[in-house]
């Protein structure tokens, strides 16, 4: 209902624009016998749940094109959507690229955002990109790509270790060859993460198994924290 009445929420969005985006995203012909509001309301009520987020992303792109010289309008749109997600206890949010992605608790969000920021500051964009890709994989609709999330998360750690050591290898081999980079207890924990990723097929693929969503989120948060730790200890 919030999305249906979004043109009334003072976010620089007209009813005819909303109608156009909804029909384009859902690939529906506009019904000339209905007012635009009633037509797009019908389509929104009838569509699959995950198409709601496709519509939101389409509206974000519209706002971006319209408001190149008025960034505050796009910002207001993002704030309105994210506030609605939060108030309705819906675990999604619009990120800085206009994509609707999964939203974890405050600790999860802070851990991942801190890692991405630290990696960019230390000129490690590939590692940061892997963390972003891990979040995107967890946000795949209608079913999360948990294997992809775990694979990208561990790859982020491997990127950081490669930058530190000047060598390219798997996380397991880094842990064996460069154990001095970690406290023994931390090394044991990372060994467990790598073993888990291998067991559930997130490293090399395994038929009939995939990580649970909650476990994939835990691996992502852990790897993000490790990236932050390693980067701060071995900053460029």
Q: Where are the domains of the chain?
A: 6-100, 104-233
Out of 6-10, 13-17, 106-110, 230-234, least confident range = 6-10
Residue pointed to by tokens 């999860």: 108
Q: Which residues of 176-188 are buried (b: 16+ CB within 10 A; e: fewer)?
A: eeeeebbeeeebe
Alpha carbon distance 51, 137 (integer Å) = 17
Confidence tier at 198 by pLDDT (50, 70, 90):
confident
Residues 87-117: tens digit of each pLDDT = 998 989 998 888 999 888 888 889 999 999 9
Alpha carbon distance 144, 142 (integer Å) = 7
């Amino acid at each position: 209902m919030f999305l249906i009445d979004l043109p009334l929420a003072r976010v620089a969005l007209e009813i005819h624009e909303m109608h156009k985006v909804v029909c384009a995203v859902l690939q529906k012909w506009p019904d000339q016998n209905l007012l635009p509001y009633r037509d797009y309301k019908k389509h929104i009520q009838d569509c699959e749940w995950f198409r709601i987020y496709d519509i939101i992303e389409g509206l974000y792109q519209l706002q971006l094109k319209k408001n190149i010289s008025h960034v505050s309008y796009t910002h207001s749109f993002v704030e309105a959507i994210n506030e609605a997600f939060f108030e309705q206890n819906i675990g999604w949010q619009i990120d800085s690229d206009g994509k609707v992605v999964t939203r974890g608790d405050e600790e999860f969000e802070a851990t991942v955002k801190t890692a991405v920021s630290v990696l960019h500051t230390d000129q490690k964009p590939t590692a940061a990109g892997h963390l972003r890709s891990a979040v995107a994989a967890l946000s795949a609709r209608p079913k999360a790509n948990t294997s992809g999330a775990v694979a990208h998360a561990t790859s982020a750690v491997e990127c950081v270790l490669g930058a530190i050591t000047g060598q390219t290898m798997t996380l397991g081999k880094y842990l064996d060859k460069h154990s001095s980079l970690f406290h023994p207890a931390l090394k044991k924990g990372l060994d467990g993460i790598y073993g888990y990723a291998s067991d559930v097929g997130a490293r090399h693929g395994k038929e009939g198994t995939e990580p649970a969503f909650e476990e994939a989120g835990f691996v992502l948060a852990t790897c993000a924290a490790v990236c932050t730790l390693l980067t701060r200890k071995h900053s460029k």
